[in-house]
Amino acid sequence: MPNLPHPNRLVCALAYDGMPLFEFSIAVELFGLDRPEMGPDWYTFQAVQLAEGPCRTTAGLSVTAAAPLSLLEDAGTIIIPGWHPSKPIPQDLIDILHRAYDRGARIVTICSGAFVLAAAGLLKGRRATTHWKYVDYVTQHYPEVELVPDVLYIDEGQILTSAGSAAGIDLCLHLIRRDYGPEAANKVARRLVVPPHRDGGQAQYIERAVPTDYESKRLGPLLDFMRENLNKEHRIPDLARRAGMSERTFLRRFSEATGTTPAKWLLSVRLNEARDHLEASDISIELIAECTGFGTTTNLRHHFREHLNTTPTAYRQTFSRAAQ
């Protein structure tokens, strides 16, 4: 497991009266559960209470956090799980967030939690995102924010914002990936049993989800064969024959098992394999293109730009463990 680049492993999630329970639970689930399989250097987690007394949630339940607001002064990562735009933001919270940013802490918002950072002035001149239904509100009230409405999340270094509720899972997995590498993020994703991979403008940052079980025993060996031979051409008649099915039955069964076509599935696997090589090895991009089935660096760059909105070189610079 890579060393955590951010030396402060304390993650604090803000609990407050009227908070959305789902968004708060995302922070607890990803950072607050015991994960002995991740080793002794995993995150430590605390729920931090904005004010005294029980915090009523949007689900009708009440939560009492163990730690006071002052603990945010010590946090390496602060998570704000949503915030209704009509709810006033206490000045003491704004002050703490500014001090946290000044000392190098990361501040993460889920869904409408971006309102807090916008009101605090921490999103001024920055790219950020939030739930699609709040786009007009943010644009009107905080024109200084460079709002990007069609992505799952934005990573601006110390400031990270996610789109609507469930996109917080994508963002938190990205943070784990950034800190500990792709294998750690995959382990957490498997434990969560996250939804299928979601494409988007920030696709190069979204950790791929856990694959579903094979639809049949006949398809399992076939998918393994395709993975092991990415540098070869795979035609539908040949794949159907290897699976012992007619072409029509094969295409239907393949779609039921993977949710996509053989061509799209193969492209996704090739891209993921190329990403793994770029992250974990120093082999040349030319060799990566050849061994993953793209053939040429030109073809590899084309698919990275089309599907991940980046280039292989830029992706390696961002996610290479050697660079970290």
Instruction: Say if residue 250 is in the same domain as residue 270.
Output: no
- Classified as helix, coil or strand, 212 is coil
Residue found under tokens 């559960």: 33
Cα–Cα distance for residue pair 187/116, rounded to 1 Å? 31
Whether 316 and 290 have beta carbons less than 8 Å apart is answered as no
Instruction: Say if residue 25 is in the same domain as residue 155.
Output: yes
Cα–Cα distance for residue pair 237/247, rounded to 1 Å? 6
Report yes or no on 19 lying in a domain. yes
Burial class (CB in 10 A: 0-12, 13-18, 19+), 283: exposed
Alpha carbon of residue 212 to chain centroid: 19
Q: Per-residue confidence of the chain (324 residues) as pLDDT tens digits?
A: 444 456 799 999 999 999 999 999 999 999 999 898 888 889 999 999 998 888 999 888 998 888 999 999 999 999 999 999 889 999 999 999 999 999 999 999 999 999 999 999 999 999 999 998 898 899 999 999 999 887 788 999 899 999 888 889 989 998 998 888 877 888 888 788 774 334 444 344 444 443 444 444 568 889 889 999 999 999 999 999 999 999 999 998 888 777 789 999 999 899 989 998 998 899 999 999 999 999 999 999 999 998 888 899 988 887 776 544
Report yes or no on 204 lying in a domain. no
Task: Residue 272: give the domain boundaries.
Answer: 264-319
Instruction: Say if residue 74 is in the same domain as residue 185.
Output: yes
| Farthest CA pair distance, the chain | 68
Q: Residue 189: what are its φ and ψ, rounded to 5°?
A: -60, -40
Domain CATH number, residue 90: 3.40.50.880
Report yes or no on 92 lying in a domain. yes
DSSP secondary structure string for all residues of 6-53 = SS--EEEEEE-TTB-HHHHHHHIIIIIS--GGG-TTS-EEEEEESSSS
Domain CATH number, residue 277: 1.10.10.60
For 257, what's the count of Cα atoms within 13 Å in the CB-facing half-sphere? Answer: 19
Instruction: Say if residue 122 is in the same domain as residue 185.
Output: yes
Whether 304 and 271 have beta carbons less than 8 Å apart is answered as yes
Instruction: Say if residue 242 is in the same domain as residue 312.
Output: no
Per-residue pLDDT, 30: 95
CA dihedral 208, 238, 224, 259 (to 10 degrees): 30
Question: Two tokens at 196?
Answer: 């299928």
Strand partners, 14: 48
Q: Residue 213: what are its φ and ψ, rounded to 5°?
A: -65, 150
Instruction: Say if residue 169 is in the same domain as residue 245.
Output: no
Would the pTM of this model clear 0.75, i.e. be above it?
no
Per-residue pLDDT, 321: 62
Cα–Cα distance for residue pair 97/123, rounded to 1 Å? 12
Report yes or no on 178 lying in a domain. yes
Instruction: Say if residue 175 is in the same domain as residue 228.
Output: no
Report yes or no on 214 lying in a domain. no
Report yes or no on 238 lying in a domain. yes
Instruction: Say if residue 150 is in the same domain as residue 281.
Output: no
Report yes or no on 25 lying in a domain. yes
Please tell me the total count of domains within the chain.
3
For 186, what's the count of Cα atoms within 13 Å in the CB-facing half-sphere? Answer: 9
Contacts of 287 (CB under 8 A, 6+ apart): none
Instruction: Say if residue 251 is in the same domain as residue 115.
Output: no
Instruction: Say if residue 273 is in the same domain as residue 189.
Output: no
Report yes or no on 5 lying in a domain. no
Instruction: Say if residue 192 is in the same domain as residue 49.
Output: yes
Whether 55 and 49 have beta carbons less than 8 Å apart is answered as yes
Instruction: Say if residue 52 is in the same domain as residue 133.
Output: yes
